[in-house]
Structure 1
């Protein structure tokens, strides 16, 4: 045990940047989706298949992310993942064929998976070493980055009328320079240096019911976030009649309230339990998604404010639970939850694309509403299972 290892304010800021910057360039991708669809003249099914391969790349990267963090440390792994992600996204904006764009999206998924998994592992390490609850603020960094990215893209395209590919690439260059600077404050290590006993396992994943069920909840939560990010601009443009330059505002509103909710959400812990936050979040989120489907035009777009605030603290509470429980080795629990969760944000939207092609985006978003209602019930059972496991240890 190394009692000299501690977490500084600079480390916390560096970890915040590890969420903020990927959040920004993910929002750039979300805003580019309608342009890519129009540029390649493809349907929702083809676009969904392309996004599916993006998810495959991400999952493959997550399979090795834990080992890379252990050997290289958080700082290097986050930086490498972000470089791959940004470079690939820049290439996507210039691709002129489906094949080229699909390959570029695969590597974009690799970069996102690598940086996302390592950022979450870094966040959990900071919580464990500092003994502070900061997950909400870190995930708020992702949402703040998403809001900033959507806002910057909106200004460049609508206010300044600049070409979309050139605009995105210019922002990506600035973001990578920022990542190089901020990464200097990230954790250089990838394991808890103060841990007395570390549970070990040969398997990188856990099949314990707690890990699987919380992973499924993460999958649904990220699926909804991914659907909002990847499909909402197109949904508002095609189904709600919002002009294409303004359609990205729905994503911006969602990320804005998601960000506010997460940055301030840790205060909820003083008044509500984690279980109450998760279950109520799913129920309120289902109401908000139903309103997105039912309301016309700009009413639907502004309702994304309610979607964001409703779901803001669900994911941070799920990840913190995996870091705090003592039933499963932390690396296994986090790897399983992260894998399933990011499968939702990256592969889930592909499923929405298939549903939209077979029916419509309205039906697809209605399915999301139903999934949130079901998740409230699953969440109640998951926390009951967690409580029983804690009682058994005592």
Structure 2
């Protein structure tokens, strides 16, 4: 028999453990991203081939989410989340071992599957932990993910500068992930007592339209985030004509603002509610993107990207929480759908902007994420009807 939430671990211990898993995930992804250029060079592949392999990584991540969702409900979070963390740590070894395009493709599918699995598991655990607190805490977990990525960027830059082989760095990083995954697992909480379900007279399933609505909002917001990740620096360089070094500040402004915003979101959400965070955050993001589109000046452009990051900071965590609370007994499966649709948006955004940029100036292509933010503003009230 599985123990109840109160019997397993204090919420505070589970909160710290969940922070570790989010940080682990951000760290692992960051270590891979930092080493993409060196791995591309070592395997001798072209940019176009790398693009196709990254699609394979994304597809494997989506598959991992869809498999992990039902498994986390069946096996329990104390089993699934550590196992997914170990899987991700092992997978992190493999890109550094690749010698050609097909071995790198296999490595990235392994890495993507591990990433997708832990993504669903740790978000489901975050929902459970949040229930033990009198206020929202989900956004802070996502902020720790960003910090994990930043730590990876710093470590990766230092090891590359020191000439440490990529295989060595990724292997050590993989070991770190495995150790954290195994050590933190015993502090996690389980969502429900299975015996309770046997005495439930009727299990009410959430409307499918509501699940798809949450997934659609996640798709739009994460598509906008993906646009910033891949195109912010290029917009500064190509539209505003800045140097490469100055262009890097565009993404920096977005990323720093988003991280700070995620740390602030929980306290604001406790006052105004999740629907307001999604709606008005999307409105702020739309204003920020409008500034980016029309600004001819670097300083104003930086302000626009920062505003865009602040606006997008809190919306996705609120959507994930709403999905996980629709039915606690099927939280993993429900979150797999919403997280999966969001991840599709994250992958699709950069590609769609690239396609539009063939037919119009890059800044005008950014009308797409602006429109999605506006639509999210009008669709945000769906969070008030989730019960």
User: Where on the TM-score scale, by shorter chain, does this alignment land: which range?
Assistant: 0.7 to 0.9
Check the 8 A contact 2:286/2:374 in 1, yes or no.
yes
Is 1:52 the counterpart of 2:82 in the alignment?
Answer: no
Q: Which residue of 2 aligns with 1:335?
A: 336
After the TM superposition, which of the residue ranges 286-295 and 29-38 deviates more from structure 2? 29-38
Residue 65 of structure 1: CA displacement? 0.6
Is 1:40 the counterpart of 2:52 in the alignment?
Answer: no
Distance 1:156 1:246, change over 3 A: farther
Q: Which residue of 1 aligns with 2:264?
A: 264
Alpha-carbon displacement from aligned partner over 1:50-69 (angstroms, at most 9, x marks no partner): 33222211121112213332
Residue 343 of structure 1: CA displacement? 2.4
Matches within 5 A, 1:298-309: 299=299, 300=301, 303-309=304-310
Q: Distance in 2 between matches of 1:264 and 1:24?
A: 22
Distance 1:75 1:30, change over 3 A: same
Distance 1:86 1:311, change over 3 A: same
Residue 141 of structure 1: CA displacement? 1.6
Alpha-carbon displacement from aligned partner over 1:337-382 (angstroms, at most 9, x marks no partner): 22212222345444445555676765554422332222222224x2
Q: Distance in 1 between matches of 2:251 and 2:226?
A: 10
Q: Which residue of 1 aligns with 2:106?
A: 103
**Unaligned 5+ runs, structure 2:** none
Q: Distance in 2 between matches of 1:295 and 1:111?
A: 40
**Unaligned 5+ runs, structure 1:** none
Total equivalences in the alignment: 378
Q: Which residue of 2 aligns with 1:369?
A: 370
Residue 125 of structure 1: CA displacement? 1.6
Q: Which residue of 2 aligns with 1:85?
A: 88
SS at match of 1:192: coil
Under a length normalisation based on structure 2, what TM-score does the superposition of the two structures give?
0.79
Distance 1:328 1:89, change over 3 A: closer
Distance 1:70 1:374, change over 3 A: closer
Q: Distance in 1 between matches of 2:244 and 2:168?
A: 16
Under a length normalisation based on structure 1, what TM-score does the superposition of the two structures give?
0.78
SS at match of 1:271: helix
Is 1:28 the counterpart of 2:31 in the alignment?
Answer: yes
Q: Which residue of 1 aligns with 2:7?
A: 5
Q: Distance in 2 between matches of 1:360 and 1:239?
A: 8
Alpha-carbon displacement from aligned partner over 1:250-308 (angstroms, at most 9, x marks no partner): 55543333222222221113432322211111121122234445557964567543332
Q: Distance in 2 between matches of 1:298 and 1:24?
A: 30
Distance 1:305 1:168, change over 3 A: farther
Residue 130 of structure 1: CA displacement? 4.9
Distance 1:254 1:278, change over 3 A: same
SS at match of 2:47: coil
Alpha-carbon displacement from aligned partner over 1:118-141 (angstroms, at most 9, x marks no partner): 001111122235555221221222
Check the 8 A contact 2:56/2:108 in 1, yes or no.
yes
Alignment RMSD (CA, Å): 3.9
SS at match of 1:40: coil
Q: Distance in 2 between matches of 1:166 and 1:243?
A: 32
Q: Distance in 2 between matches of 1:230 and 1:89?
A: 22
Check the 8 A contact 1:7/1:130 in 2, yes or no.
no
Is 1:63 the counterpart of 2:66 in the alignment?
Answer: yes
Distance 1:308 1:193, change over 3 A: farther
Residue 79 of structure 1: CA displacement? 3.3
Q: Which residue of 2 aligns with 1:165?
A: 166
Check the 8 A contact 2:84/2:117 in 1, yes or no.
yes
Check the 8 A contact 1:31/1:233 in 2, yes or no.
no
Distance 1:332 1:165, change over 3 A: closer
After the TM superposition, which of the residue ranges 124-133 and 48-57 deviates more from structure 2? 124-133
Q: Which residue of 1 aligns with 2:228?
A: 228
Is 1:120 the counterpart of 2:123 in the alignment?
Answer: yes
Q: Which residue of 1 aligns with 2:280?
A: 280
Check the 8 A contact 1:281/1:311 in 2, yes or no.
yes
Residue 17 of structure 1: CA displacement? 1.0
Is 1:153 the counterpart of 2:156 in the alignment?
Answer: yes
Matches within 5 A, 1:191-206: 191-193=191-193
Is 1:137 the counterpart of 2:137 in the alignment?
Answer: no
Q: Which residue of 2 aligns with 1:211?
A: 211
